[in-house]
Homo-oligomer: A and B are copies of this chain.
């Protein structure tokens, strides 16, 4: 396809291969830890229905909207992000989920051959967005404190880097949160070397343990910061947003005109009302955090119990995923078919590999299982991933 069209890369196909795999793992009877969806029973259907009803009293909720997003939504997002930053967040562009923010930023910032640095394991959506522009994508490893920022300087000294992408809180798939000292250092490097940081933060509000770390954007102006309503309200609103440098946001606005003209006035009106109703929102997000905490801790405890130090796990502090790396040589992709036969599924680490060998790793999503269901899933995992007779 690359040969014939030149417009698509291998990675786009790989993303699709993962989806095909996930489709298989969703067969009845399989306890799937392979997904990446918010818990459906926590989605606020009634509150959204009330907001929809209110929005639909005006025909403007059905009309075309402004390319940068409905003013009421931009206002509430601006207030939210300014609070997170401790300063004025500047201009906001609302996007069709934060995936569109990644895609438009890739188009705005990257020419073919430009270097984009991502975490390794990498967020698939970022890899797809960067590959579409035919940028050269380089992976830098993560550890428990997130991106190994110390490994950046030699890269930066070797060649010009245009963009560094980081999922700063509760990485997908890597689980880890970028430590504050690393955020400061990353920001210093951006100022020194003149690259752009894309801080991709859909999960930051889902912290249920430990303490909040300031956004990378708090430490430099060379940060385009992305977030989303998908994990705190609902994915189907397709409301993401970005803020940062005004000139870059101007380019993004023009590219968004060509990409889809504008977002939905209806779902943007709903999102604006729900984000502005902080009394309701705080309680709602607290409910999600409490449920995810219970599930994450149940999964983590069961895994520690079953695998002990054969499996190195990220700490369960927030977000939607645990990341595990087997220390005893167990390879995860080879075992997936067997696991599905045993009634459990996960995503093998190799699906997220940029250049590291992640054949011994796996991503586990804890959002959609009950604590008992998650414990049973681990029991099934242990029948497949533990050596016989342990």
Interface residues of A (CB under 8 A from B): 1, 5-8, 12-13, 15-16, 19, 37-38, 40-41, 43-46, 48-49, 52-53, 56-65, 67, 96-97, 99-100, 103, 107-111, 125, 128-129, 131-133, 230, 234-238, 251, 253-255, 257-267
Q: A56-B52, A261-B99 are in contact. Are A251 and B62 (CB under 8 A)?
A: no
Interchain CB contact under 8 A, B267 and A264: yes
Q: A260-B100, A261-B125 are in contact. Are A62 and B109 (CB under 8 A)?
A: no
A36 to chain B: closest residue by CB: B64
Interchain CB contact under 8 A, B267 and A111: no
Interchain CB contact under 8 A, B265 and A62: no
Known: A15-B254, A40-B60. 10 other contacts (CB 8 A): A7-B107, A13-B254, A15-B258, A37-B63, A64-B236, A99-B258, A128-B258, A234-B266, A238-B260, A260-B260
Q: A96-B260, A266-B267 are in contact. Are A5 and B103 (CB under 8 A)?
A: no
Chain B residues with CB under 8 Å of A265's CB are 235-236
Taking each of A58, A108, A257, which has the highest tally of chain B beta carbons within 10 Å of its own beta carbon? A257
Chain B residues with CB under 8 Å of A261's CB are 97, 99, 125
Query: Can you list 17 contacts pairing A with B, beta carbon distance less than 8 Å?
Result: A1-B251, A5-B111, A5-B251, A6-B111, A7-B255, A8-B255, A45-B57, A49-B53, A62-B234, A65-B236, A97-B261, A103-B258, A129-B258, A132-B255, A235-B265, A236-B264, A267-B267
Q: A107-B7, A258-B132 are in contact. Are A266 and B236 (CB under 8 A)?
A: yes
> When chains A and B are docked, how far (Å) is the Cα of A52 from the Cα of B251?
34
Taking each of A5, A15, A266, which has the highest tally of chain B beta carbons within 10 Å of its own beta carbon? A266
Chain B residues with CB under 8 Å of A111's CB are 5-7
> When chains A and B are docked, how far (Å) is the Cα of A350 from the Cα of B107?
28
Q: A49-B52, A52-B56, A260-B99 are in contact. Are A63 and B238 (CB under 8 A)?
A: no
> When chains A and B are docked, how far (Å) is the Cα of A127 from the Cα of B324?
48
* Smallest CB separation, A163 vs chain B (Å): 12
> When chains A and B are docked, how far (Å) is the Cα of A245 from the Cα of B109?
32
A61 to chain B: closest residue by CB: B236
A230 to chain B: closest residue by CB: B64
